[in-house]
């Protein structure tokens, strides 16, 4: 069994990003990312801080808007429009999920699709569906694909089961894997909580991508001997013995699944670090596209 080291692979992509930022800066251009958080969900706040920190580490411009939970949709959209118009900003991310009084779709549609480094805008969803490389692809599935490529795991012709159908992970993951090219050309099944005989369907997978958002949902009987398992889950579960009172666990019951795998990602240290690495890469790509337009 191989442990897929997401931290190490993320470091490699950060090194590429650092070099790309230096090259752009030498031309007088600094890639800029704006991250907007509404409310005080502690996990979301931690993600937003780590994105901000990573921008600084790579030499990028970073703007962070931390707004109160009661912020109106109109005020949030006004901030998005300001960022759309700001030439120093090449990427805009509004942390999901927003508080319930905000219509997330309306906010996403307000983002300039050329700055939608999350790949959530309908135009970018369409481009991914079309296999058009000019769009942006959501960072978490892009990170999973990069992990597979960097680990030398062949996707062409492989049976892949994507467990989960969210717009952030499951659906774009399935599209990426079925599209043509490196990290693609797979035979993809999308399974979810309503799938009949779920464990049996997952057992058909050469590569199983677990993105269902339930701690340790994938047990040993979900996994074919010698399969590759990518665990997208980051679940906080109460643990009074842990220093913070909680621990992070994936969607996979790691201890019982890992012995059956050819390769598996740990949580933490698997997919998580790749998501932020892909966000930085998307922002740099956006900056390059803006520079090419003028």
- If one asks whether residue 76 binds ligand GUN (CB under 6 A), the answer comes out as no
Residue closest to ligand GUN (Cβ)? 96
Alpha carbon distance 73, 104 (integer Å): 9
Q: CA angle, 214 as apex, 208 and 220 as ends, to 5°?
A: 45
Q: What SS3 state is found at 189?
A: strand
Quick one: 95 or 249, whose CB is closer to ligand GUN? 95
> How much of the chain is helix, strand and coil, in % rounded to 5?
45, 20, 40
Contact string 15-54 vs ligand GUN (x = CB under 6 A): ----------------------------------------
Closest Cα partner for 37 from 57, 52, 18? 52
Q: How far is the CB of 275 from ligand GUN (least distance, A)?
A: 6
Choose which of 116, 118, 206, 251 interacts with ligand GUN (CB under 6 A). Answer: 118
Contact string 77-96 vs ligand GUN (x = CB under 6 A): ----------------xxxx
- If one asks whether residue 281 binds ligand GUN (CB under 6 A), the answer comes out as no
Q: Do 233 and 209 form a contact (C-beta atoms < 8 A)?
A: no
Closest Cα partner for 209 from 258, 179, 252, 153? 252
Distance from chain centroid for Cα 13? 14
Quick one: 41 or 86, whose CB is closer to ligand GUN? 41
**In the structure encoding, which two tokens stand for residue 222, read together?**
């979900």
Catalytic residues: 51, 95, 118
Alpha carbon distance 175, 194 (integer Å): 20
* Residue 131 CB neighbours (<10 A): 14
Question: Which residues between 167 and 196 bind ligand GUN (CB under 6 A)?
Answer: 168
Alpha carbon distance 17, 8 (integer Å): 14
- If one asks whether residue 282 binds ligand GUN (CB under 6 A), the answer comes out as no
- If one asks whether residue 166 binds ligand GUN (CB under 6 A), the answer comes out as no
Q: How far is the CB of 99 from ligand GUN (least distance, A)?
A: 14
- Applying CB under 6 A, the site for ligand GUN has a residue count of 9
Choose which of 124, 140, 145, 166 interacts with ligand GUN (CB under 6 A). Answer: 140
Q: Which residues bind ligand GUN (CB under 6 A)?
A: 93-96, 118, 139-140, 168, 275
């Amino acid at each position: 069994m191989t442990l897929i080291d997401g931290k190490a692979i993320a470091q490699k992509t950060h090194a590429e990003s650092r070099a790309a930022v230096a090259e752009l800066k030498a031309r007088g251009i600094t890639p800029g990312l704006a991250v907007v958080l509404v409310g005080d969900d502690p996990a979301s706040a931690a993600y937003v801080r780590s994105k901000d920190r990573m921008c600084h580490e790579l030499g990028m411009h970073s703007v962070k808007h931390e707004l109160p939970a009661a912020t109106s949709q109109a005020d949030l959209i006004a901030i998005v429009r300001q960022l759309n118009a700001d030439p120093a900003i090449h990427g805009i991310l509004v942390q999901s999920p927003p508080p319930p009084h905000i219509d997330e779709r309306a906010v996403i549609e307000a983002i300039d699709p050329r700055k939608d480094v999350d790949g959530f805008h309908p135009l970018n969803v369409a481009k991914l569906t079309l296999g058009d490389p000019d769009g942006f692809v959501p960072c978490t599935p892009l990170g999973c694909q990069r992990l597979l490529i960097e680990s030398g795991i062949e996707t062409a012709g492989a049976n892949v089961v994507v467990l989960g159908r969210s717009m952030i992970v499951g659906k774009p993951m399935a599209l990426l894997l079925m599209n043509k090219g490196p990290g693609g050309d797979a035979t993809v099944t999308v399974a979810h909580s309503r799938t009949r005989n779920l464990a049996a369907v997952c057992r058909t997978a050469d590569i199983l991508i677990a993105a269902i958002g339930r701690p340790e949902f994938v047990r040993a009987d979900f996994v074919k001997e010698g399969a590759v398992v990518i665990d997208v889950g980051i679940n906080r579960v109460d643990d009074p013995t842990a220093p913070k009172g909680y621990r992070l666990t994936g969607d996979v019951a790691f201890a019982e699944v890992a012995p059956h795998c050819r390769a598996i990602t740990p949580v933490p240290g698997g997919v998580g670090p790749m998501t932020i690495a892909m966000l930085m890469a998307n922002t740099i790509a956006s900056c390059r596209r803006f520079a090419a337009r003028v």
